[in-house]
C-alpha cells in the first residue's frame, strides 16, 4: 500500500494523516547523552556511579570523551526523523582534566556543547548530577543531615538552573532543567518526615533564586526506589507532585520510576490539571528501574497516546532515559527514539473524534469496536512517509549505517 491509499483509508475514519505528520514533526525528542558512555561523564574524579544507578553490559566502543560522544550522537541523529534535542548531565562538561567543583559550575564548561547543538539545529536540556560524588556517598544529598552538605548540593542545583537558562537563551529554545536526587534508605526508616522537611527546605532555596523562566523550565523527578534505596525514597511521587503543584514547576514522569502495576499513562490527565508542564522520561523498567531500551510496547504506546488524547503537546516535553551497555549504544538511541515517535504517531492517528462520539453517547460497544478495528489501520505506511519526508532511513534500512560505523569507528576505540 502506498501513502495516498493509507491517507484515504484513514480519512474514512475521520483521521487527517497530514495533520498527524505535521504534529509529530513539531515535537522534539531529547536524546540523553548518558546512553553513549554508560553514565560515566567527563569529570576528573573517578567516582563510581552510586545513587542506585547501574549500567550493565560491556559492549565495545563506548564514548571516551566529548568528541566521540558527539560523533556518536550525530550519527544517531541522522537516523532519527524529526526534531531532536540533546540532554546533558552536569558531569558532561568540557573540564579538560581540571577538577571543577559542582557547586562552581558555569555555562563556560558547556559552550562547546552549545556550539555543537547549534550546528545541528538541536535544542538542549540539562540536569544537575546529584550522584557519583564523595558528598553523595552515604546516599543523601539535598536531604542530608549535615547543613554544609545540603548547601553544596543546593549551590550545585542553582548553578545548573543558571546554566540551563544560559543554554536556552543561547540556542533560542528553553532548556528543561530536571532535578533528581537518589536520597533514601536501604532498610525501613523510623523518621520519614525529617528528610522530606529538609528536602523541601533545600528545594525552596534552589527555586527561590530567580532565573529567566523564558529560557529555563524547572522540572522535578520522583522515584519509587533504587538499588540500595529499596525501603524509602525521600523524593517520592507524592512529595514531588505536591511540590510541583504548589510551586508551579514541571513534573517529570519517568516510565521506570513507578511500581510495575502502575499506569504512567493514567497519571497524565490527572497531573496536567494541577501542574503547568510535564516532562516525560520515556524508558522501560523490567521488574525495577532497569532503564531498558524503549520498545513499542503497550505502556509506551499508552503514554504517548494519552498525551495526544489530552491535546497537551504544548505542555509536554519528551525525553529518553535509559542506558543499555549490552548492545550497540548508537542503535539503542535510534531504536528508542524512533519507538517514542512511533507511539506518538499512533496516538495522533487514532480516530479520536469517532471514539469520543461513541463514548459521549454511552455507546461503549461502538467505542471498543472502533478502538480495536483502528489498530489494523496502516500506520506503518504513514510512518514510512514520515521517514522519507525527513530524509532518514525507513525501518529495516538504518542498521547498516550503524554496523558500518561500528567497523570503521567503534571497533578502533
Quick one: average pLDDT of 165-183?
A: 98
The pLDDT assigned to 61 comes to 95
Within a domain: 337: yes
> Mind giving me the DSSP string for 197-248?
HHHHHHHHHHHTS---TTTEEEEEE--S-BTTB-SEESS-HHHHHHHHHHHT
Quick one: average pLDDT of 229-257?
A: 96
User: Looking at the annotation, which residues are catalytic?
Assistant: 180, 221, 223, 254, 257, 281, 289, 291, 321
Name the band, by pLDDT with cuts 50, 70 and 90, for residue 56. confident
Provide the domain count of the chain: 1
Furthest C-alpha separation in the chain:
66
Name the band, by pLDDT with cuts 50, 70 and 90, for residue 291. confident
Within a domain: 4: no
What cell was used for 243? 511540590
CB 26 within 8 Å of CB 341:
no
Q: Which residues contact 393 (CB under 8 A, 6 or more apart)?
A: 79, 387, 401
Name the band, by pLDDT with cuts 50, 70 and 90, for residue 228. confident
Phi/psi at 324 (nearest 5 deg)?
-115, 115
The pLDDT assigned to 288 comes to 77
Name the band, by pLDDT with cuts 50, 70 and 90, for residue 92. very high
Q: Is the pLDDT of residue 117 over 70?
A: yes
Name the band, by pLDDT with cuts 50, 70 and 90, for residue 45. low
| pLDDT tens, residue by residue, 394-410 | 999 999 999 999 999 99
Name the band, by pLDDT with cuts 50, 70 and 90, for residue 156. very high
Give percent above pLDDT 70 in the chain. Answer: 97
Rounded (to 5) percent helix, strand, coil in the chain: 45, 10, 40
Q: Is the pLDDT of residue 198 over 90?
A: yes
- Give CA–CA dist 332/13, Å, rounded: 34
What cell was used for 118? 547549534
The dihedral through the CA atoms of 245, 247, 253, 254 has a sign that is: negative
Within a domain: 400: no
Name the band, by pLDDT with cuts 50, 70 and 90, for residue 227. confident
Name the band, by pLDDT with cuts 50, 70 and 90, for residue 321. very high
Within a domain: 315: yes
Phi/psi at 86 (nearest 5 deg)?
-120, 135
CATH code for position 130:
3.20.20.150
Quick one: average pLDDT of 284-295?
A: 88
Lowest mean pLDDT among 24-38, 92-106, 361-375: 92-106
The pLDDT assigned to 96 comes to 84
| pLDDT tens, residue by residue, 335-380 | 999 999 999 999 999 999 999 999 999 999 999 999 999 999 999 9
Quick one: average pLDDT of 162-187?
A: 97
Choose between 105 and 52: higher pLDDT: 105
The pLDDT assigned to 34 comes to 96
**pTM over cut 0.75:** yes
Q: Is the pLDDT of residue 46 over 60?
A: no
Q: Could you tell me the residue range of the domain that residue 261 belongs to?
A: 27-350
Alpha-carbon 302 to chain mean position: 16
Within a domain: 305: yes
Quick one: average pLDDT of 82-96?
A: 96
Within a domain: 14: no
Residue 6 exposure: Cα atoms within 13 Å on the Cβ side: 20
CB 66 within 8 Å of CB 92:
yes
Choose between 359 and 48: higher pLDDT: 359
Q: What is the mean pLDDT of the chain?
A: 95
66 Ramachandran zone, left/alpha/beta (phi>0; psi -120 to 50): alpha
Q: Is the pLDDT of residue 53 over 70?
A: no
Amino acid at each position: 500500500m502506498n501513502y495516498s491509499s493509507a491517507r484515504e483509508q484513514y480519512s474514512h475514519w475521520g483521521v487527517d494523516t497530514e495533520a498527524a505528520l505535521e504534529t509529530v514533526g513539531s515535537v522534539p525528542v531529547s536524546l540523553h547523552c548518558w546512553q553513549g558512555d554508560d553514565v560515566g561523564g567527563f569529570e576528573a574524579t573517578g567516582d563510581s556511579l552510586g545513587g542506585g544507578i547501574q549500567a550493565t553490559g560491556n559492549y565495545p566502543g563506548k564514548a571516551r570523551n566529548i568528541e566521540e560522544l558527539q560523533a556518536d550522537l550525530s550519527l544517531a541523529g541522522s537516523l532519527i526523523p524529526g526534531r531532536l534535542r540533546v540532554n546533558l548531565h552536569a558531569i558532561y562538561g568540557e573540564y579538560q582534566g581540571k577538577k571543577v567543583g559542582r557547586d562552581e559550575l558555569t555555562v563556560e564548561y558547556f559552550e562547546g556543547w552549545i556550539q555543537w547543538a547549534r550546528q545541528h539545529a538541536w535544542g538542549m536540556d540539562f540536569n544537575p548530577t546529584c550522584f557519583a560524588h564523595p558528598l553523595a556517598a552515604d546516599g543523601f544529598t539535598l536531604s542530608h543531615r549535615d547543613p554544609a552538605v545540603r548547601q553544596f548540593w543546593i549551590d550545585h542545583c542553582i548553578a545548573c538552573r543558571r546554566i540551563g537558562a544560559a543554554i536556552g537563551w543561547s540556542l533560542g529554545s528553553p532548556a528543561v532543567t530536571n532535578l533528581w536526587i537518589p536520597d533514601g534508605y536501604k532498610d525501613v526508616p523510623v523518621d520519614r518526615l525529617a528528610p522530606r522537611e529538609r528536602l523541601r527546605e533545600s528545594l525552596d532555596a534552589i527555586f527561590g533564586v530567580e532565573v529567566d523562566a523564558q529560557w529555563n523550565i524547572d522540572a522535578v523527578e520522583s522515584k519509587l526506589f533504587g538499588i540500595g534505596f529499596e525501603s524509602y525514597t525521600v523524593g517520592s511521587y507524592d512529595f514531588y507532585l505536591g511540590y510541583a503543584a504548589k510551586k508551579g514547576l514541571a513534573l517529570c514522569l519517568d516510565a521506570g520510576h513507578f511500581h510495575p502495576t502502575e499506569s504512567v499513562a493514567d497519571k497524565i490527565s490527572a497531573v496536567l490539571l494541577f501542574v503547568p508542564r510535564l516532562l516525560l522520561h520515556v524508558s522501560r523498567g523490567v521488574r525495577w528501574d532497569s532503564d531498558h531500551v524503549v520498545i513499542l510496547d503497550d505502556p509506551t504506546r499508552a503514554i504517548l497516546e494519552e498525551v495526544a488524547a489530552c491535546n497537551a503537546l504544548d505542555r509536554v516535553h519528551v525525553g529518553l532515559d535509559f542506558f543499555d551497555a549490552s548492545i550497540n549504544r548508537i542503535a539503542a538511541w535510534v531504536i528508542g527514539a524512533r519507538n517514542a515517535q512511533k507511539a506518538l504517531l499512533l496516538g495522533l492517528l487514532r480516530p479520536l473524534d469517532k471514539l469520543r462520539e461513541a463514548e459521549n453517547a454511552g455507546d461503549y460497544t461502538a467505542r471498543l469496536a472502533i478502538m480495536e478495528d483502528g489498530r489494523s489501520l496502516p500506520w506503518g505506511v504513514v510512518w514510512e512517509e514520515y521517514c522519507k519526508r525527513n530524509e532518514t532511513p525507513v525501518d529495516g534500512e538504518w542498521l547498516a549505517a550503524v554496523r558500518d560505523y561500528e567497523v570503521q569507528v567503534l571497533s578502533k576505540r
